[in-house]
Amino acid sequence: MRSRMFVISIVAVLLLAVQGTVANPGGNGDGDRDFNCAGSCHGDPSFNQQSSAEISINSSSESFAGTAYQFEVTISNSELSSNRLLGAFLLSSTNGNGDHPEDNGWNIIQDPNGGTSNYVESVVPSSGSINLVWILETPQESMSTELFVEIHHGASPNEMNRAFFGLSEPHQIEVIPVPENLPGFAADWSAPSYRTTGDTSPIILLTQNTTSVEVLWMLEGESQSHETLVELVEENKWLAHLPATMGDTVIIYQVKTSNQEFEIAQPWLTMGTKEPDFDGTLWGARMQGLASTLIILAIIVNLQAILQPQRYRGKMDHTSIVDPSTVTSPSNTQIHSNEYPDRLVKYDEYPDLLWDPVEEEWVKEPNLDDD
């Protein structure tokens, strides 16, 4: 009977747990996923519901083959779960399999969270709108292709425990062959990943087929970009004066390369801040360690000499300047008292005198008088 009750309790707990875990309210983490997560709760007609979110794609509809391409989408949604989590997919089809952009010749260089996934999870700000950017490399061959954005989210309150989903309109992109004089970064140039804290030195940009460069920058989390000063050093070599950053600040910047025929906005690049390199050396450390040993020793040995008791005794002892003729004999009462002779101090240097520390005076040696 007891074991039967135990089994029933376990089954009841499991059933209750299933009821409490509709979809994945805490998200699944970034990853590579196909349309509708291959039959997830958001894709199941018995659980899902169409999202009221607006999905707006703000990207170029034309790109050169094998070049960097910035895919930007703005999602506005007032209907979210209490943790405001939103999952967004970048897809090249809506078949339910083979939907990853890489299955259609695209390559993800950077996702909105800094990784290389086609599915990312983000917390939507209180404004209800979020901007997501994927940096992609276009297919190597010219073609006409399209990209989609799908979103998954919850709602609060969500009495029916619905899993919401939304899908954007397809975004058509014409991938065209690269012209010969296309302005862009030099093949041997790589963007610096970090800059030392407080460093105001400009970053060097190497370009090709470029007659003009414009650089925009903003701090991570900002939405307003600023233009910075760019200097031409020599042909296709430029200095961009980005402001110094401190702590763990991340600066993002975009280079626009142009010539008489083309103006190309390169993808936004990210540059972190790091602590300055340590400039200590082994010999410097050895020398500084030894110096501190000797300095500490010198200070303390000097303090020992200053604080030694003989030094103070020397100051107080004026025996050498006493004139023996001024020394008075003790009175009879002093001599016959037991206390008085005990307190007199004899010094070898003055055999016929005794020092009275109470009266602070020299007295004649009484035994000498008797002789």
DSSP result, 243-285: PP--TT--EEEEEEEE-SS-EEEPPPEEEEEEPPPP---HHHH
Binding mask 239-278 for other proteins (x = CB under 8 A): ---------------------------------------x
CB of 286 to other proteins, least distance (A): 6
Assess 317 for contact with other proteins (CB under 8 A). Answer: no
Tell me: does residue 284 bind other proteins (CB under 8 A).
yes
Least distance between other proteins and beta carbon 139 (Å): 45
The CA distance from 220 to 201, in Å, is 20
Task: Please select the residue that binds other proteins; options are 292, 319, 328, 329, rule is CB under 8 A.
Answer: 292
Q: Which is nearer to other proteins, 13 or 297 (CB)?
A: 297
Q: Which helix (H) or strand (E) holds 119?
A: strand 119-123
d(CA 57, CA 300): 74
Residue selected from 187, 246, 294, 316 as contacting other proteins according to rule CB under 8 A: 294
Cα atoms found within 13 Å of the Cα of residue 1, Cβ hemisphere only: 0
82 vs 288, which CB is nearer to other proteins?
288
From the number of C-beta atoms within 10 Å of its C-beta (0-12, 13-18, 19+), residue 56 rates as: middle
| Residue number, 229 or 303, with CB nearest to other proteins | 303
CA Rg value for the chain:
44
Q: Which stretch binds other proteins (CB under 8 A): 6-14, 108-116, 256-264, 292-300?
A: 292-300
> What is the rounded distance in angstroms from the CA atom of residue 248 to the CA atom of residue 22?
38
The residue from 159, 180, 235, 279 that contacts other proteins (CB under 8 A) is 279
In Å, what is the CA distance from 278 to each residue of 183, 284, 350?
39, 12, 69
Contact 162, 48 (CB under 8 A): yes
Please tell me whether residue 310 binds other proteins under the rule CB under 8 A.
yes
Determine the Cα–Cα distance for residues 13 and 3; give it in Å rounded to an integer: 15
Position 301 contacts other proteins (CB under 8 A): yes
Count how many Cα atoms sit within 13 Å of the Cα of residue 325 in the half-sphere of its side chain: 0
Choose one: 167-175, 253-261, 294-302, 348-356; the region binding other proteins (CB under 8 A).
Answer: 294-302
Cα torsion 279, 285, 289, 290: sign? negative
280 binds other proteins (CB under 8 A): yes
Tokens 């626009």 belong to residue: 256
Which residues, in sequence order, are CB contacts of 161 under 8 Å at separation 6+?
22, 47
Specify the amino acid at residue 173.
I
User: Does 295 engage in binding with other proteins (CB under 8 A)?
Assistant: yes
Q: In the complex, what is the shortest distance from the CB of residue 311 to other proteins, in angstroms, rounded to a whole number?
A: 7
Is residue 196 a contact residue for other proteins (CB under 8 A)? Answer: no
Site for other proteins contains 221 (CB under 8 A)? no
Q: Is there binding between residue 305 and other proteins (CB under 8 A)?
A: yes
Binding residue (CB under 8 A) for other proteins from 297, 324, 329, 335: 297
Stretch that binds other proteins, among 4-12, 73-81, 293-301, 320-328 (CB under 8 A): 293-301
Q: Closest distance between other proteins and the C-beta of residue 317, in Å?
A: 14
Number of residues that bind other proteins (CB under 8 A): 32
List of residues contacting other proteins (CB under 8 A):
278-298, 300-305, 307-311
